[in-house]
Amino acid sequence: MAQALSSNEALLEKLRQIPLFAGIKGNPGYMERLVAICTVRAFKRGEEIIREGDLGSQMYVLGLGRVGIQKRTRAGDTYTVVTLKAEQNVFFGELALIDDERRSATVTAIEDSECLVVAKEDFTVLGDEFPEIGLPITREISKILSARLRSTTEDMMTIFDALVNELKE
């Protein structure tokens, strides 16, 4: 298992590996300021970290363990979208740093896990005081959103094409 997130150096090392922070990872001062707004939270196996439909104001970096991301269908069925491992250098809930909307999925600890948590309020203050830190992170979030939108558009076109072909037959 990976090293616990118990020291500043462990936190810095983990954050340097996260693609969201690629634009600032080479600047030790920026990274120290980012670490300063992070808290570490432990989650027991089976514990919900995020619940679909709840309001959220925190982003999570998976430091240790594994989590499952689940969605509910309109019929009320739940399915697992993906399982994430800390070794994959992943994060979730990043949209909460940008908007005040409800959570789009449930995230549950599959095993005992630790996350670095960034609160929207702290991120906003950091970005206001140090735009050279906030802007690169916000740009990365924008790239993520853009990629998701393009993928969703492509998926919709595939479904549309299949529907049109079905109606023609």
Domain-by-domain residue ranges, the chain?
8-168
**pLDDT at residue number 51:** 96
User: What topology is assigned to 8-168 in CATH?
Assistant: Jelly Rolls (2.60.120)
- Torsion angle (degrees, nearest 10) of CA 59, 61, 66, 68: 30
Segment 11-40 shows an average pLDDT of 95
For residues 62, 107, 37 and 124, what is the CA-based torsion angle, rounded to 10 degrees? Answer: 130
Mean pLDDT to the nearest integer, 139-168: 85
Give the ranges where the chain is alpha helix by DSSP (H).
8-16, 28-36, 120-129, 131-168
Distance CA 49, CA 43 (A): 7
Q: What is the pLDDT of residue 120?
A: 97
Distance CA 70, CA 104 (A): 9
Is the pLDDT reported for residue 82 higher than 70? yes
Separation between Cα atoms, residue 123 and residue 127, nearest integer Å: 6
Whole-angstrom Cα distance, residue 67 to residue 85?
Answer: 7
Question: Cα separation of 51 and 78, whole Å?
Answer: 12
**pLDDT for the residue 8:** 85
Which is nearest to 136 in space by CA: 21, 58, 29, 17? 21
Task: Kindly state the tokens that stand for 123.
Answer: 């991120």
Is the pLDDT at 138 greater than 70? The verdict is yes
**Amino acid identity, residue 31?**
M
Predicted pLDDT at 1: 40
Q: How far is CA 156 from the centre of its chain?
A: 24
* pLDDT score of 2 more than 70: no
Mean pLDDT of 128-142: 95
SS3 label, residue 69: strand
